[in-house]
Amino acid sequence: MKKFKRVGKKGGIYTIEVAIAAIMIISIISLIGIQKRVDYDTSIANYKIQIFDELKTIDSEGLLRVYALRNDSESIKNFIQTCKKINCKVVIFDKEKNLTDWLTETEIQKNIASVSYIISGYIGEYSPREIRVYFW
């Protein structure tokens, strides 16, 4: 039987070094990739789109014009809140001023976003109303 001569431990050490380096690189890449990224602007934009779609739904049912002309912001708010569980306030404007209650001081201090929806007003006459939904 032939005995194998051991030349050195260099090959084994290099293999271990390469394995450690590969593990370090893979762990760094995985830590960077796993971090949860929250894009707050996107989530606010999604809420805006959803609220606008709710206003469009009320308008297509023919109720938004009625509510806006009666300055009934509570009915609009209740409709939105039954579909979306958010804190919101609806303010109705005409050409010159707001027709319903404005935001309170505590509501203004919160992180507020808004969605606007404009209707032409009475049929046969131009009296636009802007329905503005503030949400936080």
Mind listing the pLDDT tens digit for each residue in 92-125? 888 777 656 677 777 677 767 889 998 887 777 7
Please report the pLDDT score of residue 99 as a whole number.
59
Please report the pLDDT score of residue 9 as a whole number.
65
Query: In sequence order, which ranges of 2-125 are alpha helices (DSSP H)?
Result: 10-34, 40-60, 63-69, 73-83, 105-108
Secondary structure class of 37 (helix, strand, coil): coil
Q: Beta strand 129-135 with 88-93: parallel, antiparallel or unpaired?
A: antiparallel
66: tokens are 């009625």
Secondary structure class of 112 (helix, strand, coil): coil
The C-alpha angle 98, 103, 104, rounded to 5 degrees, equals 140
Top pLDDT among 67 and 109 is at: 67
Secondary structure class of 113 (helix, strand, coil): strand
Which residue, 104, 79, 39, is CA-closest to 117? 79
